[in-house]
Structure 1
Amino acid sequence: MTRIASWPDAILPDAAGFGSMIVPTRVAMPGQVRSLVAHHPAGPLYVTSHGAGILETVLSAVDLSGAVLWQRTFPGTGRPRSRGSRQGVMWLARPGDGGPVLEEIGPDGETGSVIAPACDAGEEISAFVVLDDGFCISWAAAPPYQRGNAPYREPRVARYARDGRCLWSSPISLGALSHAGVVEAGVQTDWEVRPKRPWTPQEVDVDHWEPLLVSGDRVAASFVEERSGIGATFFLDLAGGGIVASTKPLPTGRKAIAGPAEFLIGSQGYGEFSTTRYDRDGAQVARWNSHGAMLVNASGAIRGPELENRLPSHSRFRELTGTGALVDGPALTGYYTSYPALDCAGTAVFWRDGRLLAIDSSLGQQEYFATDDSRNVMSRTLLLDSGQIAFALDSELLLFQTPLGPLASSAWPCGDGNLHGNPVRWTD
């Protein structure tokens, strides 16, 4: 099932300082990769992928040499993502006999606890994070073809103890998810002419890739209508579940933790191209006319590759300053981008347009690897021991050796916020 090979023709520039040849290791996974997690920079990697079909999930443990240590198969589509924890175990959301469950999987691949959080018929887990003392889960209505006769359910956010007891549950009222850029076509009948008007869905089919972020004493829960891409983020109190504030409906974009109880909320599409910073009260404290896969370094500086829906690309690597201004970095070709990782010296590394790129703290660019590879389904980028880079293209895990330093210790040094793939910012 697993093969390991290398590209022999990849040239690393001499300027990288450790030779002229980079030989990436390639590890075939059973299906399209959905999640990439590590408990420690020394590995192993835990790769969640499709199995033989899209209704099967496989969790694989892979060491940093590319050897597959073990694999386990579970029912379910691989959504939502698996999460690591500070306790060194994985948690995987999957269907259970009586509803969704969270299954604990140890470093040896064996099952520990299986938690069945209370839910209503027709609900499924939209996103979850692992807390030191339990879990926080966002729930949404399952697609109509899955919920059968169960009624449509509005979304909610709930917190659970480690044994599955519900500590609080807060319903989310999405209201009218309309936006000026999304309109219904005009209609003419025998008795009226109905002009174009903002489109508002009757039932919200929630996109199940929206993140759930926890920082300090705040939760940021996002819900997006799947067909239009319009949604909102709700800020809740972690202790009691009260809704503190919410954003207005906007086209969806990338999101990140900016600092203690602070969040970056991006918006892209229908004329929107922005990133906004919100404080613990849900108040907007900064806004930039840029959107992308942003990183936050130890001093709070924000930078990353822009992501926009047009070709040829007009995107750049950008720095977002504290005054709301933008600093131009290198122009970026192509379109699809792996979420970057940031090393301790401020260099960001990511895959885009068939190239492994590094942008240093002075916004200088270096190309570590280039090939003619147009695959566009990719995981986040992970930075591991001794400068090793890991990410997945479609159903293949790629491992590169680079001269980069350790992953930065900051609020958001990589996609999902940490090696664990668990977007929680602890206060200790």
Structure 2
Amino acid sequence: MADDPAGLLFAVSYGSNPLETVLTAVDRTGRVEWQRSFAGTGHPWARATGRGTVWVSRPEAGWSVLEEVDANGRTVNSVVPPSRPGEDIGTFALVPDGFCILWTAASRLLCGNGPRREPRVSRHREDGTPVWSTPIHLGDLSYPGIGEVTEGSGRQVRQKPAWTPGEVTVAYNEPLMISGSSVAASFMDRGSGLARTFLLDLRTGKISAATPWAPDGHKAIDRDRCFLIGVQGYGAFETARLTPEGRRVADWPSHGALTVGTDGATSIVEMENRLPSRSKFRRLEPDGTLTSGPDLPGYYTAPAAVDREGTTVYWRNDQLTAVDADLNVHRLAKLPGTGITSRVLILAHGMVALTLDKELHLVRTPLAPLAAGTWPCADHNIQGNPVARAV
């Protein structure tokens, strides 16, 4: 993340073990300015404020702490939102007057054999004082794409009956998004990869809707402040459009990393569990149809960004690639990698930043500045904070 397009880059990563989080500040030449280590949970999260500081979540003596660090690596503020034994911050977002937090059961490494907590969503003022807290009841798991073979089935594959979730975490892809006064909170059963997204009112915490269990996929906020919820796995490959109240109003037979340009055009870098690749770069049209662009060779993909001219930039198949508004392909740089990537950032003067494996790459390109579209919105794409016009 970056506090602003021309400032320091901040990378949050694992340390020497899963219970250590490292925050690294890097200048635009790639030089490390400073590093700080924090106690961690194996799920590092950090958000830049746009005011020259970064918030990091970490545990401390049985409590979860949000710590604000300035551009020199010094702690300038600490907040302890009330929590219960056995739970930890799964992820969080900064809203204008405080924080929105997703809570999950703490790692076994932290809580041992202590109580396993159900997830919840909460909102807090700047000093950590609770505004509301809403428990999330996930219900039993089931999905048509999951089968099993039992002794009584005669070795025939049958749909697996509903079962109780095991270890519940925040969803792998975009677990928390805030659009206006609507919160989209996604939780996942780690064993199966199935997830549910709950929509809550940011002002009251009241749940307005929830999606059924489905494979976790990429998500976004579109021009009309609706949520795009992707599903990929167990035979599913689609993206749905949900209003902030949870009404499903459109579907596309596609899934992948999403961008929304300044003009509202929604593009998708398809990501399918299949080789050889059948994926394409596509546009999601308002009527539920798709406009197909270039083929996408390879498999692993870094979530994309879009500039003010409608050019989408992403990493895939060892190439940093751009697709312009007319769906023409431009190869920007060859960057070999194994698929362990960060999201792509567009910084000042066309600089593109992303991590591959354990290396940060800074690439000069002819791209225009980051688009002012809703996704990746400025806070999400630069500052790491997935909030669009929060109230």
Matched with 1:229 is: 193
Inter-CA distance 144–72: structure 2 relative to 1 (3 Å threshold): closer
Alignment of 1:55-134 (within 5 A): 55-77=19-41, 79-134=43-98
Residue-by-residue CA offset, 1:127-159 (whole Å, 9 max, x unaligned): 110112110001111244543342222111000
SS at match of 1:386: helix
Matched with 1:389 is: 352
Residue-by-residue CA offset, 1:100-137 (whole Å, 9 max, x unaligned): 11111111110011111111111111111011211000
**Is 1:316 matched up with 2:285?**
no
Identity of aligned residues (%): 45
Residue-by-residue CA offset, 1:280-321 (whole Å, 9 max, x unaligned): 211011110000001011222210210010111111111010
**Is 1:196 matched up with 2:158?**
yes
Inter-CA distance 385–104: structure 2 relative to 1 (3 Å threshold): same
> Is this contact kept in 2: 1:224–1:232, CA < 8 A?
yes
From 366, 372, 376, give the equivalent of 1:403.
366
> After the TM superposition, which of the residue ranges 123-132 and 205-214 deviates more from structure 2?
205-214
SS at match of 2:90: strand
> Is this contact kept in 2: 1:141–1:153, CA < 8 A?
yes
SS at match of 2:212: coil
Residue-by-residue CA offset, 1:336-384 (whole Å, 9 max, x unaligned): 111111010000111111111010001100111225x242100000000
Aligned length in residues: 389
> Is this contact kept in 2: 1:50–1:77, CA < 8 A?
no
Residue-by-residue CA offset, 1:69-88 (whole Å, 9 max, x unaligned): 11111121452421112333
Q: Which amino acid aligns with 2:381?
A: N
The Cα RMSD (Å) is 2.1
Q: Which amino acid aligns with 1:212?
A: L
Residue-by-residue CA offset, 1:5-49 (whole Å, 9 max, x unaligned): xxxxxxxxxxxxxxxxxxxxxxxxxxxxxxxx1011102100112
TM-score w.r.t. length of structure 1: 0.86
Residue-by-residue CA offset, 1:393-415 (whole Å, 9 max, x unaligned): 01100000001110000100369
Matched with 2:383 is: 420
CA distance in structure 1 between the partners assigned to 2:14 and 2:110 by the alignment: 19
Alignment of 1:283-294 (within 5 A): 283-294=247-258
SS at match of 1:338: strand
Moved over 4 A (4+): 192-195
**Is 1:219 matched up with 2:187?**
no
Which protein, 1 or 2, shows the higher relative CO under an 8 Å CA cutoff with sep ≥ 6? 1
From 350, 353, 375, give the equivalent of 2:338.
375
CA distance in structure 2 between the partners assigned to 1:144 and 1:68 by the alignment: 33
From 169, 174, 179, give the equivalent of 1:207.
169
Q: Which amino acid aligns with 1:389?
A: V
The offset of 1:426, in angstroms, is 1.6
Unpaired segments ≥5 residues, structure 1: 1-36
**Is 1:158 matched up with 2:122?**
yes
Unpaired segments ≥5 residues, structure 2: none
CA distance in structure 2 between the partners assigned to 1:193 and 1:377 by the alignment: 38
> Is this contact kept in 1: 2:149–2:155, CA < 8 A?
no
> Is this contact kept in 2: 1:182–1:228, CA < 8 A?
no
Inter-CA distance 193–357: structure 2 relative to 1 (3 Å threshold): closer
> Is this contact kept in 2: 1:74–1:94, CA < 8 A?
yes
SS at match of 2:349: helix
